[in-house]
């Protein structure tokens, strides 16, 4: 049996939220507004510092227009993401 570390899952989830947020060209503030949470929550999710409730996972998937499983996919986007959305588009 493969043992899964919860910290790893949170990091993968957060990186995927950030990646899909960048593809939608949303700032953290915009995504927070769409799913009705404070911007600190989005920041904490993206850095893997916060666990996420099922309701929030569903809201994120809907806002980012992805399947829930895509937010947990540890094979997507192996490259490092920049801290700022503007840098993401400059380097694309």
**Domain total of the chain:** 1
Q: Is residue 10 predicted with pLDDT exceeding 90? A: yes
CATH value at residue 27: 1.10.260.40
Question: How many CB atoms neighbour CB 26 within 10 A?
Answer: 18
- pLDDT of amino acid 86: 62
* 59 domain residue, yes or no: yes
Q: How many CB atoms lie within 10 A of CB 36?
A: 9
In a domain, 1, yes or no: no
Q: Are residues 21 and 60 in contact, defined by beta-carbon separation less than 8 angstroms?
A: no
Condensed to tens digits (0 to 9), the pLDDT of residues 31-63 reads: 999 999 999 999 999 999 989 999 999 999 999
User: Are the beta carbons of 16 and 70 closer than 8 angstroms?
Assistant: yes
Predicted pLDDT of residue 13: 95
Residue 46 lies in a domain: yes
Domain of 46 in residue numbering reads as 6-90
Q: What is the mean pLDDT of residues 59-84?
A: 85
Does position 75 have pLDDT exceeding 90, yes or no?
A: no
């Amino acid at each position: 049996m493969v043992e899964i570390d919860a910290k790893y899952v949170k990091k993968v989830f957060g990186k995927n939220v950030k990646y899909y947020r960048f593809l939608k060209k949303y700032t953290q503030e915009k995504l927070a507004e769409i799913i009705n949470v404070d911007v600190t929550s989005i920041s904490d999710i993206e850095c893997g510092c916060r666990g996420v409730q099922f309701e929030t996972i569903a809201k994120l998937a809907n806002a980012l227009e992805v399947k829930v499983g895509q937010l947990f996919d540890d094979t997507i986007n192996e490259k490092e993401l920049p801290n700022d959305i503007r840098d993401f588009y400059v380097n694309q």
